[in-house]
Structure 1
């Protein structure tokens, strides 16, 4: 036995024969140390796990804060849009929403410009009585937004169905992420249409917005299916799948125009004739 005070050794006994220190206190103290150490170690994994969770939460990016960088990157190099994955699903949804909103605004500003001109232009802006001086913003834009939603939705359904029929179809989130990224440049084209609409250039506004919509619901689905089909089927089959997807999307768009858009345009013409 080793004395904790003078470090002298002796064979047995409860007290040191040299300094008189108790061996029981030393054993009790050592036992207390050995009991504390496992407790301290037991808290170490929990503390480490907590720090790991805090670190992950701190490193998790805000989905909206990085959208500006994402927008600039896609505009500079649109080919990166087809590399988007599930993580960009919310960015894709936001991009599609921006496209539809800018498209609706371009038609509203053009229609409102024509409406104001038919009422007499600047002379009616200062009148306190008489007819309404501007088109109802919510009612008009919501109608256009609904029509564009039908067009875009039909194109997405056609692409998703074609991917499933081709085999190994991608998930819906990934499709939205990539399609939303692809339509971003056409949102910029809609912004140009808004400028033309504010200026009252009817032909340029209709041409710019119409070109944007045509590419979005016809050309882009064909390119999208052809690009992904090359990695799964023969190039000839991918070509026919892409053409078929574009054709079906155009047929559905035609039915939407016949069912909803023509009736809306008829109402607009009737309002114009009544002025």
Structure 2
């Protein structure tokens, strides 16, 4: 306790001064908590109806006070499962913060950046998308058209961006879109399997991924060619986004559009849920949320 007080004050300082100072500090803290409670209650309550319109069928949204009443949360509850997303409304200049609470075992997990900071989301729409995707990570499923069968999955599939940092401008990224399978629960093992299929060559992997926009990455793709929808298949990588024309025919694919080049700070303008940045030199991939915040870094080789 003594370390909590200054050591350069006279020992004869009247004790009532210290008591008065503590009382003033407590009063300030109480006022701050009340202000935050009022601010988050207003935002969470107003956001509940908006969230209900953005959520998938069967989901519900409601505002509620957190334990102790210091802040209000916007709670998103899926139709199945035990976990729910608890969104802390913006206050004190921060955006939305996301926590995932499993009611069965009482665990709480907050979305954080790679540095351990809270991964604040700038808008309600991006927050809801990130919260749904975070619940995704607790589910067990496999990519593919049957992933919604039998009601086993209660979350949305998502797209993502994948790319490389510009060698000369580290604040700029070159990215390609992937239409399906974008959540880390699916994308990270997929990238590792593609890395293996392409000979554990990080530079070659980056070049292959930046050559096209993708419908879906799929390392089990066996041959170069075209599928029945007219999409080009790249062996060991997946199906490109663009089609060649008439489904079922083998056409000539023209040169794809170049990759998008965008400052990382402006990533949210591309309206994506996740970004995966490859580092060929280190053999790693860093996961970012849709607003550009880094969440985690992973080795491609295991």
**Which of the five TM-score ranges fits, normalised by the shorter chain?**
under 0.3
Flag the structure with higher helix content: 1
Flag the structure with higher strand content: 2
TM-score when normalising by structure 1: 0.25
TM-score when normalising by structure 2: 0.23
Higher RCO (CA < 8 A, seq sep 6+): 1
Question: Max radius of gyration: which structure?
Answer: 1
